[in-house]
Amino acid sequence: MLICLERQGADVDVDLLAEELTLLLANLGITVVGRVDQKRTSPDPATFIGKGKLYEMKALISNLDTSLVVCNDSLLPTQLHNIGAILGVEVWDRPFVIMKIFEARAYSAEAKLQVELALCKYEIPLLKGLGRQMSQPGGGIGTRGPGETEFERHRRKLERRAKHCSTSSKRSVKVVLIQERDVKETIFQL
């Protein structure tokens, strides 16, 4: 199911963008079963399209037995969390759909590393939208202070993974350059 926001006064063709997103989702093997449009001057900071429209969507989702909602725009972490909490289904935004396509089509090791790096950079800001589940301190008996929160641990893990992907990608580029140089030297020696 698609969520489309038509901003009043904007010269963007929402139908064209929705059709494009439908084609992007088809590349992932996902069929669009419905679309909800909302006209607003600007996105709602908490729920993107407004709570009332989300509750209308919830009834529609239960009738269509949908497990995924895709927004035809970029969402803030709080918007992603709030939409998911109200609708009770997985929520993606447009940039995530594009990353999923790249992930599905990445075959070389370098391409896979680049996609993983992009996903890490995408996920780090989304951690703040996870709310209370990420704010529990990890201290225990005999420790000094409250310890670190789950948010801090998860953020650090994603940053380490992003750094690893970045260094591995640079290393693979160096290997390719060395291999190309060796091939050129071999050709010139013959």
Beta strands (DSSP E) in the chain are 2-7, 35-40, 68-71, 90-93
Compute the distance between CA of residue 182 and CA of residue 69 in angstroms, rounded to an integer: 50
Res 32: pLDDT: 92
Give all strands (DSSP E) within 49-175, no chain letters.
Answer: 68-71, 90-93
SS3 45: coil
From CA 91, how far away is CA 84, in angstroms rounded? Answer: 6
Give the per-residue pLDDT at 133: 47
Number of continuous H segments (helices) and E segments (strands) in the chain:
6, 4
Q: Are 106 and 119 spatial neighbours (Cβ–Cβ below 8 Å)? A: no
Q: What is the mean pLDDT of each run of 10 residues along the chain (190 residues)?
A: 87 90 94 91 92 92 90 90 92 92 87 81 70 49 58 71 70 69 67
CA dihedral 113→119→121→127, nearest 10 degrees, is: -140
Say what the pTM is. Answer: 0.71
pLDDT of amino acid 129: 46
Query: How far, in Å, CA of 111 to CA of 161, rounded?
Result: 15
pLDDT of residue 48: 93
CA 103 to chain centre: 11
Q: Would you state the structure tokens that stand for residue 117, as one six-digit string?
A: 């790096």
CA–CA dist 24, 26 (Å, integer): 5
Can you tell me the distance from the alpha carbon of 34 to that of 2, in angstroms, rounded to the nearest whole number?
6
- Give the separation between CA 135 and CA 168, rounded to whole angstroms: 32
